[in-house]
A and B are shown apart, each in its own frame.
Chain A
Amino acid sequence: MNLSDVLDMGEYGAYVWSCYGLTLAVLVLNVWLARRSLAEQQLHAKRRLQMNSETSS
């Protein structure tokens, strides 16, 4: 298969590529959301610990 065959996928290019693109988007989104919520929680926890050590010292 050459490149134009891969892009065309018979007449089904739009369907196949939109499916792959969409799935990729969902996969990327999930990784990003998970990493972001982890980073947020790490930030909150660090802040809390800083505040605790400030008030107790």
Chain B
Amino acid sequence: MWLWFHKLSSPPYAYRTAGLVRPWLFWPAVLLMLAGAFGGLVLAPEDYQQKDAFRIIYVHVPSASLSLMIYTVMAVAAGVGLIWRMKLAHAVAASCAPIGAWFTVATLVTGSIYGRPMWGTWWEWDPRLTSELILLFLYLGYMALRASFDDTQRADRASAILALVGAVNVPIVKYSVVWWNSLHQGPSISKLAAPSIEGSMLWPLLTMMLAFVLYFGAVLCDRLRGEILRRERNASWLNETLAAS
């Protein structure tokens, strides 16, 4: 197990492996997305309260989950890179950031559109949307800090510290936002809580979640390979690998 992990940390091996694995993540993701979307849009019965509008959860909730999951992966990779000085771990963290940021944007926009027919407004400061917004700021700050260093090594380590500090703060932010929201009069349930969900409504959601995770893996493979090439400028292994491709 450790031997595999050690091999994986060598850039040429990771480069090749990511290239091989990618289609096995991407195409199943596409199939699952089609199945999940069909299940969510057509097969699932309409919700008692929200009618057909609830179908938005099949894209909104997976986006939200991914945005948070990717930040976790990013922070863990950054931590591994910082503690064990693995350059590849830093490359993984750097590759995660733009993907996670885009999912956060998707969550915010779909959440806003979902809110319009439900509450009548394009934006509400409810706990989920507010903490997604703060998460977006954390992603943007991470990418901005990275960009401000010319030296890749320093960029890696500085942004790793920021990612870890951010990760520690995410639960604090979530708790504080929930508390902040609870002080106001009005329904105590989060306004974007998925309607009470039964089996035929649940499986498309799980399918979409899995699809999004596989999709993330596929896109991460591509971005990681690009990062590896960018960092391994003059390494000799590039010769054979690129001549072959």
Contact = CB atoms under 8 A, between A and B. Distances in A.
Chains A and B touch each other in the complex, with CB atoms below 8 Å apart: yes
Contacts of A22: 106, 109-110, 113
The size bracket of the interface on B is 35 or more
- Interface class of chain B by DSSP: helix
Contact of A19 (B98, B114, B242): B114
B155 interface: no
B226 A48 contact: no
B46 A19 contact: no
Interface of A: 1, 6, 9-12, 15-16, 18-20, 22-23, 26-27, 29-31, 33-35, 37-38, 40-42, 44-46, 48-49, 52
Interface of B: 26, 33, 37, 41-42, 46, 51-53, 55-56, 59-60, 63, 98-99, 102-103, 105-106, 109-110, 113-114, 116-117, 215, 218-219, 222-223, 225-226, 229-230, 233-234, 238-239, 242, 245
25 contacts: A10-B46, A10-B53, A12-B51, A15-B53, A15-B116, A16-B52, A19-B114, A20-B59, A22-B109, A26-B63, A26-B102, A26-B103, A30-B98, A34-B223, A34-B226, A35-B222, A37-B222, A37-B226, A38-B222, A38-B223, A38-B229, A41-B225, A42-B229, A48-B234, A49-B239
